[in-house]
Every structure is written in structure tokens, then in C-alpha cells.
A and B are shown apart, each in its own frame.
Chain A
């Protein structure tokens, strides 16, 4: 059973439906007690980091998520969920979850013809193997819609990049946490395949 965290950050029904499409059982919750018992977590989100962090704190979901991470269960973060797992975000002064060292930054593009937000389909380049990225080939594109992106402090936490006026991190991983800036639930067949791999992931990096 996949527990999808609902923290008032955008519409998560697409994630729920995409899980259903892969055949996995999934349910949404904003109850920190339910999260505490979760076997597997998806932490999606669209919107602003400051209000999301406030909601997570108010509801105790921040602590539940941190505990879930410590306990070793597999966690997949999507979009905002890939940003607030870091220490901080340029979007606001609040501290973020701090599960992975680093910060979230805003696009600063020199080329004025390039638009912000980064919205549409772009190539995801895998630079370090990970079970969840297994099967992604050069040229494979996923759907993005964001104005900020994660910047992990350690190179070893960066698994995939994309280019929008320069290369930037689009998939980060640390132990049992993996997170994508792009939306697997909106990226067609390739995205569904990534979600399907997550349904089978045990949270470790050892090859089987």
C-alpha cells in the first residue's frame, strides 16, 4: 500500500490515478498517524515551499515524514516534494525538512528568450544509476512545471539532470529517499514506468 501525503499542496489525484494505472494500491492522507504506519510513501506537491512547510509543521506531518525517512521505508518525492526535502529554499525564509543537505534555488537565466517557469517536456539525463531510473534512455523526456529547482550539496546525491539555460538537478536520492523535479504522473508511459519501479522498490540501492 502506497501512502500519498496530502499536505494541501496542489492536486494529488493525478498521482493517485497514476498509481492505480500501475496496478498498485494507494491512498491519500493528511493524518500524521497514518503516515507513521506507512509502508511506502509518495510525497508529491505543487505550489509554494513556505506555505507547504507551514502546513506540514502545523499538522505534524513534518515529523512523521522525518521519522519515516529514518525508519528506512521507501519514499518518492515529486516536484515540491523534491525541493522541501532539502535544508532550505530561496522561496522563503523558513527551514525545510533537511532530509538531504542542500537548498532549493530559483532559475536565473541569462538568456531572456528562455521562459520561467520551466514548463513542458524536457530530456532527463541520468548521470548516476538508480533502481528508479533504470530503463531511462538518452532522449527520454518528462514533464516539468516549476520555477525553482533542487540543488543538493553533495554531487553524489544528484542522479539526473536536465538543461534549461544550463544543467540542473532533476532527480536526487539519498538512502531510501528518491525525488524528481519532473512529474512522473504526467509524463506518459515513461512516467508510469518510473512509478511502477517505485512500487517494486525496497528503498535500497543494492542491485538485485
Chain B
């Protein structure tokens, strides 16, 4: 059977590795491709390069980064941040990215998901979403609201509805990012993740809040996630990918240990 996946996200700004807490206060912390290669050799199952500036000028920087990554890393990696068109997606795919993540642009125009899926395949089209807890209302019955523009702008859109819609439109995978939990290191939003994973037939990657190995265990079991995405706990050297996987494997979760 399929193993659960450890995914590491590298936020990239202007081609350099960056890390933000709750989407503000970014700082540069190194060379993304070198870091990615280190994680690859340390057993990570998948990587995400997230372009947090996402400006037009940055497009070519990301293409160069993807090409460099693709010649040094032989596991799947995806790219996200500011992907607004089929052309963006195809260029990144051709440069060597296995998958692309769409977020804000898909919320603004949902047909983009279908268009990208047609061009590069559903399996390469990930719908990422930033979500915050709200009081349940008639418009947001799940109590979880989609936020766009890097977690800044509330939309009034129900996250559960959006996830199901994304699947119907052709997304092959979801990244569920809790902006309440993101950067806090207090654990993933288990209730949100489980609700999403149970509602769709496509894989769900949990994101936001990992602080210790137990958090990954919880989101992969109780949270029903197919993969756990981490960032700061490995970027700052608190845990290695190997340590996280050995912990999960030791507690009975099927992980790829043959790296």
C-alpha cells in the first residue's frame, strides 16, 4: 500500500530561501536548491517551492530555480505562488516541476483549474488553499473560510465547498493550509484536515502548525491526511527529515524508509 508522505515546503523570495511566521516577517535563510538537495538526500518524499513574492519579474527566477532543482533532485517536487495561467503552469512543468500549485488565481477564476488539468494532467494540478476558522454562518457552514493573496484577504467562500469544487474541476490533490496554525508550531488543524480528507477522493496534504513529530503522527492518523507538509521544523534544524520519518515509522505509520 501507499506510504504516507513527508513533504517539505521551501518558501522562496527572489530566488532565496525565506521563512515567514503567520505570513508576515519574512527573512532570508539560504539557498533553496542546496537546501532541497539536502532534504532529498535525507529522505524527504516530496518538496514544494513556494514563490512568496509571486511578481511578474520573479517568473524567470523561478524557472531557473526549477531547472536547477530538477538536475539535482530525483523525487517529485512542485511549485506554487503566483501561478495565474496555463502558460505559467506549463512552463514550470516543462522546466522540471512534477506538479504545480494554484491558489489565489483559481479562487478568482475557477476554470483555471480545469484548464491547467487539461494541459498538464490532474495528477500535476494541486489546488492549495489558505483557510481560517470563523463562526459558522449560512454562507460558511463549515466554519472555515478561504483566504487569498497570501493569507491576507478573506473571501466569504466556504473551504469545504471549495475543496469539493476543486476536485470536480480537475484538481488531482489538495494542500490544506491552516493560517491559524501556520508558523505556531502548536500542531496542525486536525479537525479541518480530517473534514477535507473525508470529503474528497483525491489526496490531501496537511499544512500549517507542525512543531514536533507527534503533530505529524496526529495529522496522518486522526487527521486522515495522505501527507504532512513541514517547513520551519526542518529549516531551523530542529529535526531532520530522517528523524521525522523514523519517528513516524516507529509508531507504525507506513513511510518510505528505503532512501
Contact = CB atoms under 8 A, between A and B. Distances in A.
Contacts of A14: 70, 74, 96, 98
B258 to A, nearest CB: 4
A117 interface: yes
A175 interface: no
Interface stretch (A25-33, A184-192, A198-206): A184-192
B259 A120 contact: no
Interface in B158-178: 172-173
Interface string B1-27: 111010000000000000000000000
B74 A188 contact: yes
Given A11-B93, A143-B75, A164 B1 contact: yes
Contact of B70 (A13, A116, A117): A13
Contacts of A185: 74
A7 to B, nearest CB: 15
Nearest to A48: B121
B98 A186 contact: yes
A188 B75 CA distance: 5
B212 to A, nearest CB: 23
B256 A119 contact: no
A115 B201 contact: yes
Nearest to A10: B121
Given A11-B96, A18-B74, A117 B123 contact: yes
B153 interface: no
Interface residues of A, number: 35
A13 B66 CA distance: 12
Interface of A is mostly: mixed
A13 B96 contact: yes
A62 interface: no
B121 A186 contact: no
Nearest to A124: B258
Is the interface on chain B under 10, 10 to 19, 20 to 34, or 35 or more residues?
20 to 34
A139 interface: yes
B172 A117 contact: yes
Best-surrounded residue of B71, B74, B256 (most CB of chain A within 10 A): B74
Best-surrounded residue of B1, B2, B5 (most CB of chain A within 10 A): B2
Contacts of B173: 119
A107 to B, nearest CB: 12
Contacts of B227: 120
Interface in B75-94: 75-76, 93-94
Interface in B93-124: 93-96, 98, 121-123
A13 B94 contact: yes
B213 interface: no
B94 A141 contact: no
Nearest to B93: A11
Contacts of B259: 188-190
A186 B70 contact: no
A21 B74 CA distance: 9
A163 B1 contact: yes
B123 A145 contact: yes
A139 B259 CA distance: 11
A30 to B, nearest CB: 15
14 contacts: A11-B93, A14-B98, A17-B74, A21-B74, A46-B123, A115-B201, A115-B203, A116-B201, A117-B122, A120-B45, A122-B1, A186-B75, A188-B40, A191-B74
Given A14-B98, A120-B226, 12 more contacts: A13-B70, A13-B95, A47-B121, A120-B2, A120-B227, A121-B45, A163-B1, A164-B1, A164-B2, A186-B74, A186-B75, A186-B98
